[in-house]
Amino acid sequence: MSKFLTRRRMIQGAMAAAASGAAAALAKRYDLIPPDYGGLFGAGETLTYAAQRALLHRGPLAREFRRDQISVNFPAINTVFPADLDYRRQMANDFEDWMLDVGGLVERPSLFLLEELKRFPSRTQITEHICEQGWSAIAEWTGVPLSLVLDVVGIRPEAKYVMFYSVDGWWDSLDMFDALHPQTLLAYGMNGGDLPVRHGAPVRLRVERQLGYKSLKFLSRIDVTDRLDDIEDGTGAVGAAYGYSWYAGI
Ligand SMILES: Nc1nc2c(c(=O)[nH]1)N[C@H]1C(S)=C(S)[C@@H](COP(=O)(O)O)O[C@H]1N2
Ligand SMILES: [Mo]
């Protein structure tokens, strides 16, 4: 290898290190290190996350649409009907005895029936779902803002993330910014009716500022926590095993 090339490589390496060092310093200062920072794209993930959080610190809303813009066909992908036997029994009973378990770092761990979630003030929003697999669709979602449920159970000051589990074995997490975002819903309604099974009945998450895979369907349990590294494989989300970023901001 020529001296010139070696030197160029060294400069490139130093520049990359400086860039990721700056991102890391910024991220550390503001506590903006995503749980998957250690992987192949670690420095990039940290930079994206820190930059988006810096830009979005006032919490702007994702774009909302008009009724006449709602998609006629909204695809349903991956799990469309969970195999779980308890789930199927609850479904046969119109989810009357389905319950959402909310616990972890909260003052009052609670179980919520569907009808109890429906008694909270609701929010309806028409938004665009963007799937990482290259399609998008617009729908109207109705549900209770997650922040209202977290207010009722009382999150402890040390809480930093909210973990979500679903009946089909998915799990994922949000930081408090997205968990408390006004458009983050526990949605039980879609396009004016009940949330259909293929779209995650009885209750799914809507996370409008991130890609579709963060909007977990078929919710079963919510767990408030101060760390993700000791949960499951420590990456914060089931998708990390398939190469999906924990933070999927759009
Ligand atoms: N529990 C669970 N949540 C999930 C999925 C899933 O298979 N199971 N798929 C994810 C992906 S990749 C997308 S794009 C959306 C799809 O939602 P839809 O089936 O209502 O279109 O749900 C997300 N949430
Ligand atoms: Mo997706």
Secondary structure (DSSP) of 147-172:
HHHHHHHTB-TT--EEEEEETTS-EE
Q: What percent of the chain has pLDDT over 70?
A: 84
Structure confidence at residue 88 (pLDDT): 98
Q: Return the pLDDT at 9.
A: 47
Any atom of ligand 1 within 6 Å of the Cβ of 76: yes
More confident residue, 31 or 156: 156
More confident residue, 17 or 182: 182
Q: What is the pLDDT of residue 71?
A: 98
What is the DSSP secondary structure assignment for residue 225, as one 8-state letter?
E
Distance 31 CA to ligand 2 centre (A): 28
Question: Is 14 in a helix, a strand, or coil?
Answer: helix
Over residues 223-249, the mean pLDDT reads: 93
pLDDT value at residue 4:
44
pLDDT of residue 218: 98
Closest ligand to Cα 129: 1
Binding site membership of 78 for ligand 1 (Cβ less than 6 Å): yes
Helix, strand, coil abundance in the chain, percent, nearest 5: 30, 25, 45
Tens digit of pLDDT for each residue in 185-229? 999 999 999 999 999 999 999 999 999 999 999 999 999 999 999
How far is ligand 2, taken at its centre, from the CA of residue 248, in Å? 11
List, for residues 26-44, the tens digit of each pLDDT value: 566 556 778 887 765 677 7
Residue 238 corresponds to which tokens in the numbers above? 């089931």
Q: What is the DSSP string of 97-110?
A: T-EEEEEESBSS-E
Tokens of 32: 């903006």
Output the CA 120–ligand 1 centroid distance in Å. 25
User: Rounded to two decimals, what is the model's pTM?
Assistant: 0.85
Is the distance from the beta carbon of residue 191 to the nearest atom of ligand 1 less than 6 Å?
Answer: no
Distance from Cα 138 to the centre of ligand 2, integer Å: 14
Query: What is the residue with the minimal CA distance to atom 12 of ligand 1?
Result: 213
Which pLDDT does position 42 carry in this prediction?
72
CA distance 249 to 217: 18
Residue owning the nearest CA to atom 1 of ligand 1: 217
The per-residue pLDDT for range 48-84, each reduced to its tens digit, is 888 777 776 656 899 999 999 999 999 999 999 999 9
Residue 47 has a pLDDT of: 78
